Structure 1
Amino acid sequence: MSFEKLELKLKDLYEFRKNYFLIHPIEDASLKDERINSKVEEIVESIKDVKNDACKYCNERGDEGLSRQQLANLCWIEGKARNASSAFDPLCQEMLTKALKLNPELGNTTDIHVQLGECFWKKGDKDGARLSFEQSLQSSQPDITKQGKRNLSILMRQVAAASNDQEHHMEYMEKSIKLVKEAIQIDFMDGVSWYILGNAHFSQFFVDGQKPETLKQALQAYKNAFKDELSNYNCDLLYNYGILLKFQEKYEESLKSLQLASKLDPVWSEAEEQATNMELLLTQLTDLIASRGGLKQKQFDKIVSKFDLSHLGPFSEPFKDPKTETLIGLKQCSLSELSKSEPASSKNLNQDKVCLLKVIGELGLNLQQPPYFCIASDSAADICAVSVFNAASNFHLQRGDSLAIRQPFITEHRFEIFSLKDQKSSEKERTEKSVNFCLIRVNSPVDLVVNGKKGNKGMQVFASVGVEAKAS
């Protein structure tokens, strides 16, 4: 087999990996690695045939057979082929390293430094990966430089996450964002670069004061990524996008994204766990509201009959709006008098209202969800869920506690879901689950008044959510 045919096989391998879900159904996701590895072995066997043919030919002619440059090319092709597998392959590192030793010019004409960096990354050698990616930036080929920049961006973010120094953390985060933005400038339509930028902004959101504009930047970057058709089959992107939507409490979209991520990578347990936990959370909230927190009617009536307006505490007085510097008097309202918003909306429709509720049940943090959840009723016996973000692990509300919420941001969640388990079953075995509840979001316990007392900073711990991207 000629070198040209080997290079075509290598190109076909990477096109096959890249476009797998454009030519195969999602049901074949579990076969992806096996099929890729089969193509890798085909290339490795073809290389052996080339070497054997060369050896046979040189014995007949009495010369040395393959030149140094030809051996370097064979090592390069085999190394890159082996790197198509998701797991670390020691022979991949050996072949790529040998290729560079035999012909250092490969660093200028191929993406060998990117490939070697990704190989080191799989091995867990981040220093080796960083050095290789930095060397790839010397290439005159834009596509190679793009890959190096976006992979370095991920590494910088990982270095930032491992740093306990806030100043160093922000420095590396800024480097991470700068690098991936430079990659986007090289190829504005590349979905991978956009999704890496989305991850960087999403991570930045949790270490830089949870600024709403940073979350918007992350969301827009993810949306730009999805404009690339291949991104719709990127399980890492779908997972991280699902986590962002969950934080925004866009539960229906979030669940669909997490479920699809799990289907695309069936062996990735974290995606399935997140989807399963969300299904459980949504159904539990629905069931708890329908059952009045599991209380008997007499118990429920007793709690709801004990409303005391003094439990509005400081919310009974006008307060100064931090944006307009004007005093706002709050009207005490029942749940039915509140205007509902869309999840993640920047506009709160209840700026002049305060809601007084009684806690009738809680989920707490037992499902490892970012917010604390409880179920509460107003004096008219209407019930909703309440999510409290950035709550300390010891934050706790008891049945009968009064809960005053100023400028309540309330949303409605009503949709049908199929669990991942149901989706793998036959049509006859499938059962729909209904999600149906209203939810008030509270960004911090400090924003609450509990039994007439304002929440304090001891109740608050800022949440963090991990997002990740693999080397490209």
Structure 2
Amino acid sequence: MSALRKGSDKKILCQLSMLERSMAQGSEDPAVLVEESIQHAKEAVMLDIKDGNSWYNMGNAYLTSFFVGGAWDHTKLHHSVKAYQNAEKDKTMSLNPDLYYNCATNYERALRGFEAAALKDPGLGADREVQKIVSLLDKLENAMKGQLRSKRLASLVSSLNGVTLKSSHKKATISKLSEGLNKAVAVLGKVILLIRHDNIAPLYYLTCDLDQSYFILSVYGLRNDAIKEGDRVILYEPYYRILDASWKDKRYQFRSIRVDFPEQILINENAPAPHHVAHASIHAHNKP
């Protein structure tokens, strides 16, 4: 990297930031290189705060850091989203369909972004991504509609009553959660249905809590045979959101909990078995 003379060139700083992220993929300590990538991305932005490419590069750096850290530090994700939003303010970035891939942090935004990307560069295959997302939303909505009768549901959920927490976390139902990350809290749930879809991750389940309230559970970091229908799950420090997305005159609304880390979940009061943990490398999309 010494061959790259930083000087005060924002393009060189961005290239250096990208190089560090690339090197991090095969590094024993990727977090260090990704942190350096963030610092160089910041330096590039400081040289020209109106340059969309520099903001886009910073968004990629923070997004990579988010995943390298196990998708646990949501501050990094927030910084990433803000950087992508600043990148979009630069009109020249409308010619960069890659931006729509990385700034797709919710379904509606993803659909709009992929549709725009498909129009600007059909070779990206973004239209297929639109179809995948709509198909997924339809499946999630149908799962929420196909709820069990209350008597049978009460019988299924009754097994949760005897579950005790072996930690200082406080039991909570989904109605007690705040939007975002809920620290020092654990939600007990009964898995009703695995919702099959086109992507490998995350895994989606129709789940019910102690109050017999349904929600969609999305799980990262586990293989699809780790959790089975009928299993009890304990969800530590869950990330809660109310999904509200509209697309082509159709509106999707339901509650969801996201689990980013295998350490956040117990299955039938046991930690996931090692062979059920998925080791995936996730990084910001960057078309050469």
The interval holding the TM-score normalised by the smaller chain is 0.7 to 0.9
Measure, in 2, the Cα distance between the counterparts of 1:447 and 1:209: 11
Which structure: larger Rg?
1
- In the alignment, structure 1 residue 150 sits paired with structure 2 residue 5: no
Within 5 Å, give how 1:4-403 maps onto structure 2: 134=4, 145-161=9-25, 163=26, 165-167=27-29, 169-170=30-31, 172-210=33-71, 211-242=73-104, 245=105, 250-269=106-125, 271-292=126-147, 301-306=151-156, 307-313=158-164, 315=165, 319-320=167-168, 330-331=170-171, 333=173, 335=174, 337-341=175-179, 345-346=180-181, 348=182, 354-363=186-195, 366-378=197-209, 381-398=212-229, 400-403=230-233
Name the SS of the counterpart of 1:391 in structure 2: coil
The normalised TM-score by structure 1 is 0.52
After TM superposition, give the deviation of residue 462 of structure 1 in Å. Answer: 5.3
Do the aligned partners of 2:20 and 2:33 also contact (CA within 8 Å) in 1? yes
Measure, in 2, the Cα distance between the counterparts of 1:351 and 1:209: 18
Measure, in 1, the Cα distance between the counterparts of 2:20 and 2:218: 33
Q: What amino acid is aligned across from residue 34 of structure 2 in structure 1?
A: M
Q: Structure 2 stretches of 5 or more lacking a match?
A: none
Alignment equivalent of 2:272, drawn from 441, 453, 456: 456
Query: Could you say if the C-alpha distance between residues 370 and 183 of structure 1 is closer, same or farther in structure 2, counting changes exceeding 3 Å?
Result: same
Q: Which has the higher contact order (CA 8 A, sep 6+)?
A: 2
Measure, in 1, the Cα distance between the counterparts of 2:240 and 2:32: 37
After superposition, what is the alpha-carbon deviation per residue over 1:227-286, rounded to whole angstroms, capped at 9, x for unaligned?
3233344311121111xx1xxxx32223322332222212211x3333322211111000
Name the SS of the counterpart of 1:411 in structure 2: strand
Name the SS of the counterpart of 2:218 in structure 1: strand
Do the aligned partners of 2:144 and 2:206 also contact (CA within 8 Å) in 1? yes
After TM superposition, give the deviation of residue 445 of structure 1 in Å. Answer: 3.8
Determine the structure 2 residue equivalent to 1:435. 252
Do the aligned partners of 1:238 and 1:258 also contact (CA within 8 Å) in 2? yes
Q: What amino acid is aligned across from residue 116 of structure 2 in structure 1?
A: L
Aligned residues: 285
After TM superposition, give the deviation of residue 401 of structure 1 in Å. Answer: 2.3
Name the SS of the counterpart of 2:163 in structure 1: helix
Do the aligned partners of 1:338 and 1:410 also contact (CA within 8 Å) in 2? no
Aligned identity (percent) is 26
After TM superposition, give the deviation of residue 203 of structure 1 in Å. Answer: 1.3
Alignment equivalent of 1:465, drawn from 272, 275, 282: 282
Measure, in 2, the Cα distance between the counterparts of 1:148 and 1:206: 25
Measure, in 2, the Cα distance between the counterparts of 1:287 and 1:241: 27
Do the aligned partners of 1:304 and 1:379 also contact (CA within 8 Å) in 2? no
Query: Could you say if the C-alpha distance between residues 260 and 311 of structure 1 is closer, same or farther in structure 2, counting changes exceeding 3 Å?
Result: farther
After TM superposition, give the deviation of residue 362 of structure 1 in Å. Answer: 0.7
Query: Could you say if the C-alpha distance between residues 415 and 309 of structure 1 is closer, same or farther in structure 2, counting changes exceeding 3 Å?
Result: closer
Query: Could you say if the C-alpha distance between residues 180 and 405 of structure 1 is closer, same or farther in structure 2, counting changes exceeding 3 Å?
Result: closer
Between Structure 1 and Structure 2, the one with more helix by share is 1
Measure, in 1, the Cα distance between the counterparts of 2:144 and 2:68: 34
Do the aligned partners of 1:340 and 1:412 also contact (CA within 8 Å) in 2? no
Between Structure 1 and Structure 2, the one with more strand by share is 2
Measure, in 2, the Cα distance between the counterparts of 1:209 and 1:407: 14
After TM superposition, give the deviation of residue 207 of structure 1 in Å. Answer: 1.9
Alignment RMSD: 3.3
Measure, in 2, the Cα distance between the counterparts of 1:393 and 1:360: 15
Q: What amino acid is aligned across from residue 214 of structure 2 in structure 1?
A: I
Determine the structure 2 residue equivalent to 1:61. none
